[in-house]
Structure 1
Amino acid sequence: MIEISLRTSGQGAHAGALRIANSRLWETFGSIGLLSADPGHAPWPYTDWGRAARRSLPRADVTLPGWLVHLFRAGGGTLPSFLLPVPSSARQPDLAEEIASLREVPPARVRAELARWFPGGVPAEVRPLYADPGARIADLCAFLPRYARAALAPYETSLRTVTDDDILLRARVLATQGPDRLLGTLRGAVSRRGDVLRLRAGPPGRAAARTEVSRIVLVPLVFGRGASLLGFAPNGVTAVSYQAEGAAVLAGEGADEPARGDRLEILLGRSRAGLVRGLVAPATTSDLAATLGLAPSTVSEHLTSLVAAGVVRRRRAGVRVLYELDASGVALLRHLDNRRRVNAASYETT
């Protein structure tokens, strides 16, 4: 857990302390993190993309570096910041330029961050990186373009559209409603408590670390589910990823047409099937809207129907209203959802 103070120079958060920037490198790492987290199955709405990526990577003779996969798993889905240069908000991101900046990371910084990540000793899987940071980073810089061509190139236009639209949306909120409102809209592994931004970042079980920054750069990621990516610049600027709205673009083209053979979508329609799949864990209307790329009013309308049908139920948790699958919803997934096997305890409701 990382805690970032939103007070800069003794003042509260202000618009000048926040920027929003796109990064193709961070997006690429986010997708690798999803593949690393579960080698067999990516969660919806990444399931179709994950299945296609696992087919295309071997055909392109691309293998994820073992030390990178281990860093993701040891970090609970995030990475040490030496791999995450702070993106610039002054220009459109270029993956080649961002990759080139990785070559400039000093070996001493790599070793120092790895030592902090693994206070009990760097594990065997990561020792090649610790022993020769320059060589392994060079290998990574050669790997990333090949990975992007094999796993992301067919989706690149959609990915850019989603993140560009999300930046326009957040920038409008920042300009018209201020930084406090903007920070309150973030999704993913980011939460706010008072003047502190809390991130699920770094190895699980580690005590919360507090840091103060001069400026925060927010980085929207379509592959932003799970832990936050976090990058630091020497001038005190800190970059933080969050879940961009519209990740459902990866679920396939033709949002109004059920996928062939998808019994759940044929029965409920794509949007309602997506809601049912999205409720494998309790969620709010705004959470679902952000994940599925739907308007909150549309999500609310569908939830009302699903509640009336006894598939979904609502409950209040403090000031939040949560929706979760009822027994009928669990049964629908188990018997009709051919996209996944529904046996996990997380589908059960009490």
Structure 2
Amino acid sequence: MIEIPLRRSGYGTVRIAESRLWETYGSIGLLSTRRGLAPWPYAHWDRAARRSLTRAEVTIPGWLVHLYRARGGALPSFLLVVPRPSRGDLTADLAALAAVPAARVREELEQWFPQGVPAEVHPLYADPRARLAELRDFLPRYRRAALAPYEAPLRVATEEDILLRARILATQGPERLLGSLRGRRLSRHGDVLRLHGSAASTRTAVPDVSRLVLVPLVFGRGAPYSASAPDGTTAVAYQAEGAAVLLGEARPPGRRGAADDPARGDRLEILLGRSRAGVVRGLVAPTTTSDLAAALGLAPSTVSEHLTALVAAGVVRRRREGVRVLYELDGPGVALLRHMDNRRRVNAPDA
């Protein structure tokens, strides 16, 4: 378990950033720890990725597999790079891995394995430079084979989650944002944020941080990742919304039909019609009628009509905040998205 103090002076600066490196690690961890028994909604991707890796003759290094299994999917921090404010590609992170000192690798491995570094990981301990070079060669080949077919939906899911969290941060502050990060790998206890690994993992306390970076991962379910930079920045992974994009191929681009013409295979649109389904999907965070209309490209009167019907049905609730009237999903609306939506995984609303 990793404990990160969240005193007010410690997370005055909070930002949300994507990381292709961390997302890649998360997917590898799923393959390494589940051994072909991936949970929903990863099972389809798991089978396709294993077939693709076999055809491409790409094999996960044995020492990396053992690191995942040793700590319930966690990785030592020397493999993780704190995401930068500007959006970069995998190349920049791989270059940072090349600069990791061998002494740091050995020190962290000794902390991870106080009873002695196991034989499976000893190649990394004996020659960190060679093994990290192997990793830098492996990761792009792995990503092309296992993740390239899902590149577009992964990017959309991550960007949508960042927009969702950014809205919460801007309108309700960091306390509410941290409270929205739910999952069995990430929990909050008072002023401490905890990342949970396996039951056998030791407890590690991170010094007070000057900046906190939240990293959304579609493959974040089994990825209790944390890394710190010399300037006091600490990055923490969390499970992003939208992992259901891995259930199948993304909807192909093309001209959309009428506003209420459901897309083939979209169960929520078949049930509600396209525009009303869009309203439901737009309410994963509290919003006003005008903001929702602008986001969906619909007339405010049309959105208002849909909201009135959804409130009457108990799917959406309405509350006043100052001079604004906010709409958000109620419990039945959350259940509807969880069971009918092809794209989103949403948390239950606050009581």
TM-score by length of 2: 0.72
Q: Which amino acid aligns with 1:114?
A: L
Equivalent residue number for residue 167 of structure 2:
172
Between the aligned partners of 1:104 and 1:59, the Cα distance in structure 2 is 32
Partner SS for 1:86: coil
Equivalent residue number for residue 53 of structure 2:
57
- Deviations along 1:172-217, one digit per CA (max 9) or x if unpaired, are 211111100000011331111111111114x532342222222111
Between the aligned partners of 1:227 and 1:147, the Cα distance in structure 2 is 18
Q: Which amino acid aligns with 1:176?
A: T
Q: Is the 8 A contact 1:3 1:210 kept in 2?
A: yes
Q: Which amino acid aligns with 1:159?
A: L
Q: Is the 8 A contact 1:257 1:270 kept in 2?
A: no
Equivalent residue number for residue 6 of structure 2:
6
Q: Which amino acid aligns with 1:231?
A: A
Q: Which runs of 5+ in 2 are unaligned?
A: 252-261, 270-283, 286-315, 317-327, 339-348
Identity %: 61
Q: Is the 8 A contact 2:186 2:224 kept in 1?
A: yes
Equivalent residue number for residue 160 of structure 1:
155
Between the aligned partners of 2:44 and 2:230, the Cα distance in structure 1 is 39
- How do 1:251-266 residues align onto structure 2 when only pairs under 5 Å count? 251-252=247-248, 253=250
Equivalent residue number for residue 230 of structure 1:
226
Asked if residue 244 in structure 1 is aligned to residue 243 in structure 2, the reply is no
Equivalent residue number for residue 332 of structure 2:
300
- How do 1:80-159 residues align onto structure 2 when only pairs under 5 Å count? 80-89=76-85, 91-159=86-154
Asked if residue 39 in structure 1 is aligned to residue 55 in structure 2, the reply is no
- Once the 2 structures are TM-superposed, how far is the Cα of residue 227 of structure 1 from its aligned partner? 3.8
Equivalent residue number for residue 272 of structure 2:
none
- Once the 2 structures are TM-superposed, how far is the Cα of residue 121 of structure 1 from its aligned partner? 0.2
Partner SS for 2:121: helix
- Once the 2 structures are TM-superposed, how far is the Cα of residue 298 of structure 1 from its aligned partner? 8.2
Equivalent residue number for residue 279 of structure 2:
none
Between the aligned partners of 2:231 and 2:111, the Cα distance in structure 1 is 21
Partner SS for 2:59: coil
Q: Is the 8 A contact 1:213 1:236 kept in 2?
A: yes
- How do 1:182-221 residues align onto structure 2 when only pairs under 5 Å count? 182-188=177-183, 189-201=185-197, 204-211=199-206, 212-221=208-217
Q: Is the 8 A contact 2:11 2:210 kept in 1?
A: no
Q: Which runs of 5+ in 1 are unaligned?
A: 260-268, 272-288, 307-318, 322-350
- Once the 2 structures are TM-superposed, how far is the Cα of residue 320 of structure 1 from its aligned partner? 8.8
Query: What is the CA RMSD across the aligned residues, in angstroms?
Result: 2.8
Q: Is the 8 A contact 1:41 1:51 kept in 2?
A: no
Q: Is the 8 A contact 1:3 1:198 kept in 2?
A: yes
Equivalent residue number for residue 23 of structure 2:
27
Q: Is the 8 A contact 1:5 1:197 kept in 2?
A: yes
Between the aligned partners of 1:320 and 1:167, the Cα distance in structure 2 is 20
Equivalent residue number for residue 283 of structure 1:
none
Q: Is the 8 A contact 2:71 2:200 kept in 1?
A: no
Between the aligned partners of 2:246 and 2:239, the Cα distance in structure 1 is 14
Partner SS for 1:125: coil
TM-score by length of 1: 0.72
Q: Is the 8 A contact 1:187 1:244 kept in 2?
A: no
Between the aligned partners of 2:166 and 2:333, the Cα distance in structure 1 is 28
- Once the 2 structures are TM-superposed, how far is the Cα of residue 19 of structure 1 from its aligned partner? 1.4
- Once the 2 structures are TM-superposed, how far is the Cα of residue 12 of structure 1 from its aligned partner? 6.4
The size of the alignment, in residue pairs, is 274
